[in-house]
Amino acid sequence: MGTPTTRRGGARSRISGVPTVLPPAAQPVPTLLTLPDERTRSEPLPGVVHLPGWLDLGEQQALVAAFREWATPPAGLRHPRVPTGHLMSVQSVCLGWHWQPYAYSRTADDTDGAPVKPLPADVIELGRRAVTDTFGRGSGGPRAGARYEPDAAIVNLYAPGARLGLHQDGEEPSDAPVVTISLGDTCTFRMAGVDRRTAPFTDVELRSGDLLVFGGPSRRIFHGVPKVRNGTAPDGLGLPPGRLSLTLRETGLA
């Protein structure tokens, strides 16, 4: 059963999404030179924190291996469809709660109707670690890491040519931060404003292993991914060509 949302009156497409099968891993491309990553923590907007290289290669590989299991049916990987009937170019699988534009449910209502896979305990702890590392454990941040209780993950695969238009994470009653972990190809992560999706924009380059957390005054900022740079993923990651994003949310839903 769906959960009412704050946008479009909870409307969902009458046409189902399209289930997909995860392709094999990309073949390594020889590189001539690997430069050290000299990027540092940044706060591009109030309440937005970027931690470059947050996950090492082994941690990234473990998430990719888990994603391969999450992507299989039932309630597996699919192209979601928005209420207008447009099929999204990203492929998505959900954990904890199933997100179908623009509503949450406990079953994959836009594909096979199966119960959504649970959000693993180690992924919940990863979310708490992310909020602790960005906003700290005390009262100074929008949400203390020890109190962060993510209950939903949306895992998006950007195959070559896929992108994500500017949108708000607006279906959740909770104002807890949103955690995004980037794997695979480098992307441009674009932010507009809380009350607008137009320029001026703030762009952040997210590489494999990077962490971006947004909360506080930017919790419901319009954001999207207009560009992914093909062939920029590290070797040996185990992903098919493209980018993978793991987004954790504390929904506040019962």
CATH no. for residue 88?
Answer: 2.60.120.590
Q: Does 139 map to a domain? A: yes
Q: Does 61 map to a domain? A: yes
Rounded Cα–Cα distance for residues 57 and 140 (Å)? 31
Over range 118-143, report the average pLDDT: 83
pLDDT > 90? residue 52: yes
Q: What is the pLDDT of residue 37?
A: 83
Q: What is the pLDDT of residue 5?
A: 46
Q: Which positions ≥6 away from 32 have C-beta within 8 Å?
A: none
Over range 188-202, report the average pLDDT: 97
Q: Does 17 map to a domain? A: no
User: 6 to each of 14, 85, 173, 221, how far by Cα in Å?
Assistant: 19, 20, 8, 15
Q: Does 7 map to a domain? A: no
> Where do we find the tokens 């769906």?
2
The pLDDT tens digits for 81-120 are: 999 999 999 999 999 999 999 999 999 999 999 999 999 9
Structural domain boundaries, residue 168: 40-249
The total number of structural domains that make up the chain:
1
Q: Does 104 map to a domain? A: yes
Q: What is the pLDDT of residue 4?
A: 39
CA atoms lying within 13 Å on the CB side of residue 243: 32
Q: Which positions ≥6 away from 140 have C-beta within 8 Å?
A: none
Q: Does 88 map to a domain? A: yes
Q: What is the pLDDT of residue 7?
A: 54
Rounded Cα–Cα distance for residues 148 and 133 (Å)? 12
Q: Does 16 map to a domain? A: no
Q: Does 10 map to a domain? A: no
pLDDT > 70? residue 137: no
pLDDT > 50? residue 139: no
Q: What is the pLDDT of residue 140?
A: 43
pLDDT > 80? residue 233: yes
